[in-house]
Chains A and B, each alone.
Chain A
Amino acid sequence: KAGVTQTPRYLIKTRGQQVTLSCSPISGHRSVSWYQQTPGQGLQFLFEYFSETQRNKGNFPGRFSGRQFSNSRSEMNVSTLELGDSALYLCASSLPGTRTKNEQFFGPGTRLTVL
Chain B
Amino acid sequence: GDSVTQMEGPVTLSEEACLTINCTYTATGYPSLFWYVQYPGEGLQLLLKATKADDKGSNKGFEATYRKETTSFHLEKGSVQVSDSAVYFCALRAGGYQKVTFGTGTKLQVIP
CB <8 Å contact, B98 and A104: yes
Say how far B18's CB is from chain A's closest CB, in angstroms.
26
Say how far A67's CB is from chain B's closest CB, in angstroms.
16
Chain A's closest residue to B94 (CB) is A99
Tier of interface size on chain B: 20 to 34
User: Is residue B102 within 8 Å, beta carbon to beta carbon, of the partner chain?
Assistant: yes
CB <8 Å contact, B99 and A33: yes
User: Is residue A43 within 8 Å, beta carbon to beta carbon, of the partner chain?
Assistant: yes
CB <8 Å contact, A42 and B43: no
CB <8 Å contact, B51 and A107: no
A-side residues, CB < 8 A to B, are 4, 31, 33, 35, 42-43, 45, 48, 50, 55-56, 58, 90, 92, 94, 99-100, 102-109
Minimum-distance CB pairs A-B, first 5: A43-B102, A106-B44, A106-B43, A108-B43, A56-B97
